[in-house]
Amino acid sequence: DGGITQSPKYLFRKEGQNVTLSCEQNLNHDAMYWYRQDPGQGLRLIYYSQIVNDFQKGDIAEGYSVSREKKESFPLTVTSAQKNPTAFYLCASSILEAIGELFFGEGSRLTVL
């Protein structure tokens, strides 16, 4: 089955710890995105990547880091510098840049204890 897979689905972290969320797609999409979803605030863009080894900051990149070493993979690290990391994180991919449908993963819910 083609699709986009996020893991883990649920994650708990202690304050001060970094955590990495995985996002893998087998759709052969060029572009990949990370969004954060908080209640009442919609989807806010953290980072996006249009090609391998290149990525751009979105609106709320502070406290996050990404890499794009392979076309299929776009992991997101939530660092200890992110002041309020508890949220629902969605990864998405699209064919070319942002001119087509975004396909979303099922999301990862991070809770900081």
Partner 1 sequence: GENVEQHPSTLSVQEGDSAVIKCTYSDSASNYFPWYKQELGKRPQLIIDIRSNVGEKKDQRIAVTLNKTAKHFSLHITETQPEDSAVYFCAANAADMRFGAGTRLTVKP
The CA distance from 15 to 95, in Å, is 37
Q: Is the dihedral of CA 36, 55, 76, 26 positive or negative?
A: positive
Residue 15 CB, shortest distance to partner 1, in Å, is 26
Q: Residue 8 interacts with partner 1 (CB under 8 A)?
A: no
According to CB under 8 A, which one of 32, 74, 82, 105 is a site residue for partner 1? 105
Q: Residue 67 interacts with partner 1 (CB under 8 A)?
A: no
Among the listed ranges 10-18, 40-48, 65-73, 75-83, the one in contact with partner 1 (CB under 8 A) is 40-48
According to CB under 8 A, which one of 1, 15, 54, 101 is a site residue for partner 1? 101
